[in-house]
Amino acid sequence: MRMRRTMFISFFSVLLLSTLAIFYIGPENALQKILRTYFQVQGIERAYANTPNYRIAYYEGGKEHKETVILLHGLGGNATTSWFRLLPVLTKKYHVIAPDLIFANFADYIQNSTYSITTDTRLVEQLMQAKQVDSYHIAGLSVGGLIAMHVAQNNPDAVKSVALITPAGHNLQELTERLTSKGDKAGEWFYKNLFQHPFPVPDFILSGQFERINTIVKAIPTMLGANQHELTPRYTDIVQPTLVLWGKDDKILPIKYATSLVEALPSATLQALSDCGHGVVWDQPKLLEKALLSFLHDQTTATK
C-alpha cells in the first residue's frame, strides 16, 4: 500500500510539474525541454560551436564510433523535434551530429531576406571544420535534403554517402506557390498535411509553429527571386552513393518528384514507403531506421 501511494505521489508530482512548465514557459519550450532531457538520458549532448560566421547549436552522440553521420532537419522543425526517435537509434552504431539549421530556425536571415541556401550549406561545412571531422555521411529531411545535396556537391572527398528523405529542391518553386496561396493559413495547412497519421500534439502547442511558417512563407518569394541560381544542386556532381526515401502518400512534396530526382543523380536508388506522408520521421520511424541503418552499413562496410 505504501509503495502504491509513493508511486502515485511521484506520478502526480511529475504531472503537476509538467503542467506548470507548460503554463509558465509555454508549450513549445516545455516540449523542447522534455525532449532535451530525454536526449541526455540517452547519452546525447547538446553543445555549441563557434565558427567564423555562426554560433551553432547541435546534438552529438556516439562519439566512441568511427563513422560520422550528419542529420539535417527540415522546415518547421529543428534537431530536437525532428530526430528524437532516430538519434538514439543511430548513436548506438555511429557518431552522430545533428545541428539546428538557420532556415527552419526563423533567424533574422529569413526576415531581412539575406538568407540563401548557401547560408546553411556554409553552416554545416564550418561545423564539420570546427569539429575536425574530415569525412562523414550526410542525411537530410525535406529542405535539409536540399542542403545535404549542396554539401555533398561541394565536398566530394569529405561526404562518403548521402541519404535524402523526401528532399526539397527541384520542386521548391511549386511548393512555394502552394504555400503562398494559403495566405495566413499556410502554417496550419503545412502541419495538417505533413503527416499521414494525425500528429498527437494539440493545436495550442503548434500555434507558434503555424505563425513561424507563415513568416517564412512571406519571405520565400523574395529569397527565391534573389537566389534562384543557388537553389538547384548540380546533380551530376553528387557522385556519392545516394539513398532517396519518399512517402507514397506525401501531400507536401508528392512522390511524382522522386523519379526525376533519382534519374538525375548518378548513383541513386529510390525506396518508396507505404502508408507514409512527408513526415517520414513520424509516420514510419521503424522503416526509416531500418532503411537508413541498412544503407549506412553497406557504405561503411564497402569503405573498410
123-163 per-position pLDDT tens digit = 999 999 999 999 999 999 998 999 999 999 999 999 999 99
pLDDT at 182 over 90: no
Q: In terms of domains, do 9 and 104 share one?
A: no
Structurally, how many domains does the chain consist of? Answer: 2
Q: In terms of domains, do 275 and 255 share one?
A: yes
Number of residues that this document lists for the chain: 304
| 52-58 long-range contacts, CB within 8 A, separation 24+ | 52/126, 53/122, 53/123, 53/126, 54/102, 54/123, 54/126, 54/127, 56/99, 56/100, 56/123, 56/126, 56/127, 56/130, 57/99, 57/100, 58/97, 58/98, 58/99, 58/100, 58/127
* CATH number of the structural domain spanning residue 71: 3.40.50.1820
pLDDT grade for 289, boundaries at 50, 70 and 90: very high
Q: In terms of domains, do 114 and 205 share one?
A: yes
Mean pLDDT of the chain: 82
Tens of pLDDT, residue by residue over 40-80, are: 889 999 999 998 888 899 999 999 999 999 999 987 678 98
Q: In terms of domains, do 163 and 233 share one?
A: yes
User: Which of 72-86, 202-216, 239-253 bottoms out in mean pLDDT, i.e. has the lowest?
Assistant: 202-216
Q: In terms of domains, do 35 and 165 share one?
A: no
